[in-house]
Chain A
């Protein structure tokens, strides 16, 4: 298990990490969330010794990370980087060997991942000649080629089109199913909600929420009422409903924030009076809403 234990880091007056603690077990996929500048990248770079914490420690299976352990981690940094003029296959074999594979093993692994990413016919192309999406695939392949025990991915979905994002999500899910511990940061919270059972939310260097996504959602005191009608309707009646406020309306669909004093029957009756109801559901906040509530935006 990877454990970041009470990490603290200051850059001058800026607090980058403040008692940051989290853990990822083999087979677990942990979404590491936070607004820009929250400290996610600093925490991830600490794992690789690229930032030395002022306090706290990083361990794998209760042992402080060493160079040998780090070679068994797959890393996708926030700042993507490959050798632009090096050929894809050669480059991936090089990274595999740097992480301890011998040449035949590395070549086998590279051929496997090129096939998975549908890049076999571009194996001899230079990275710079690839499309942005394909470069992203090669970047992920570089973090996977040495069969890591832990994946640390900083914004792996950034810049991907929806289809590529789904493909990458599938690959990460399979890695977790095979027992790899996966830690990744992302601003695409809908995708995180689909992909992860667990998340850790960090704000101003401090972990403010952590746990199962379902538990975090249900633990919120807020509920959202989704009402759909067969045709667009007048919504002025909502202002007369105690404990309810309109937060979004799109043609025939409205979303209300309600508290526990709200009279759902009265709202249903008023909505039915305005038009024909086609859907009516009370839900806990989405992960995105939990996140927004937590960081106060």
Chain B
């Protein structure tokens, strides 16, 4: 029987064994996604924002058009006129209006005045004053507008250094997905290995299947289940988002998606092998936590770092160094790429290091796994398992 037939056979058994937990966990995460997205759609408001502006003492006639033109196209402006300043201020205090324009030279802010509205109102009143002064100096309205909006040519010779908002969103999602996949599916691999050792079936299996085949079957099958679950989650979130107008498909994120996929595969191969090796060291399910837990802590460090990167917006030296270390590169480098921080040479070196580390990890984990599985009845250290595995491989 060829290698791939044996691996496919063992993968088939893994799919059968993980079917129930996979369906249950998928149902839970899909329900959470569906409820979360639906709640967001129901509670969030996608309609235009309406600002309430109060006018007192004969403000300029076209002030409302000026303010509206300076606000976002989605924003609406509602005007209320007050006969006296005291009534207007009372309305502002009661949040019936968001700001006041008094005459042609005074603006009043209240608790509900946003920066966006304040900027637009102040600029509109200011422009009105410039126009008025220009008219008194004998300038035409067109000349006044040229004072307000001087003709300045602007152009860009290079693309912006920062990644687009869509790319940043994609990178944040990548960090979260990498962490989820490593933690959840890596642990599945670890516990699946421990289970085979703990119930001693591995001794029977190793008469017919080589350790590296058994390990490959676990990493591949659980990886495929994991990818399916993530794709289902993403697909459902996207479908609900599109159906409720909560999501726009990012326009220029193709390259980021490709990078995320590459790092996802490299990261999963690295951590999947690591978890399999760790699992092979335990001989009982009680010992499983103590060998698998530290792997999760390593992944968590990368996750926290990744999120800080996205939130902080600063490409620190520590972050740059960490993005070359294989334990964290799968989470940090795609995030740096998406933010436009990673130079081409950095990406190339990090990728090279990751590929080399992945291959080294598969080799080391294969030996450790072989050693660990051959000594099914005892808890082993990393070195001892590697020595035993290497001895058997000779």
Contact = CB atoms under 8 A, between A and B. Distances in A.
Given A67-B210, A71-B208, A52 B391 contact: yes
B203 A50 contact: yes
Given A49-B392, A81-B200, A81-B203, 14 more contacts: A50-B374, A50-B392, A51-B374, A70-B208, A81-B201, A82-B204, A83-B13, A83-B201, A86-B16, A97-B9, A98-B9, A98-B10, A99-B208, A142-B204
A75 B204 CA distance: 7
Interface string B203-217: 111111110000000
Q: Is the interface of B mostly helix, strand, loop or mixed?
A: helix
Contact of B17 (A52, A70, A83): A83
A52 B203 contact: no
Nearest to A47: B207
A84 B204 CA distance: 14
Contacts of A77: 200, 203-204
B377 A79 contact: yes
A60 interface: no
Interface of A: 45, 48-52, 67, 70-71, 73, 75-77, 79-86, 90, 94-95, 97-100, 142-143
A79 B203 contact: yes
Nearest to B392: A52
- Ranked nearest first, the 7 interchain pairs of A and B with the lowest CB-CB distance are A81-B200, A81-B201, A77-B203, A79-B200, A98-B208, A75-B207, A50-B374
Contacts of B209: 98
Contact of B208 (A52, A80, A82, A95): A95
Nearest to B203: A77
Contacts of A100: 1
A83 B200 CA distance: 9
A44 to B, nearest CB: 10
Contacts of A142: 204
A198 to B, nearest CB: 24
Q: Interface centre among B208, B377, B392, by most A CB within 10 Å? A: B208
B207 A80 contact: no
Nearest to B390: A52
26 contacts: A51-B392, A52-B392, A70-B207, A70-B208, A71-B1, A71-B207, A71-B208, A73-B207, A76-B204, A77-B204, A79-B200, A79-B377, A81-B202, A81-B203, A81-B204, A82-B201, A82-B204, A84-B199, A85-B17, A86-B17, A90-B16, A95-B204, A95-B208, A98-B208, A98-B209, A142-B204
B217 to A, nearest CB: 11
A145 to B, nearest CB: 11
B318 to A, nearest CB: 44
Contacts of A75: 203-204, 207
Contacts of A99: 208
A223 B394 CA distance: 50
Nearest to B13: A94
B295 interface: no
A51 B13 CA distance: 26
Interface in B116-139: none
A137 B159 CA distance: 72
A98 B203 contact: no
Contacts of A50: 203, 206, 374, 392
Contacts of B202: 81
Contacts of B391: 52
A43 B36 CA distance: 60
A107 to B, nearest CB: 14
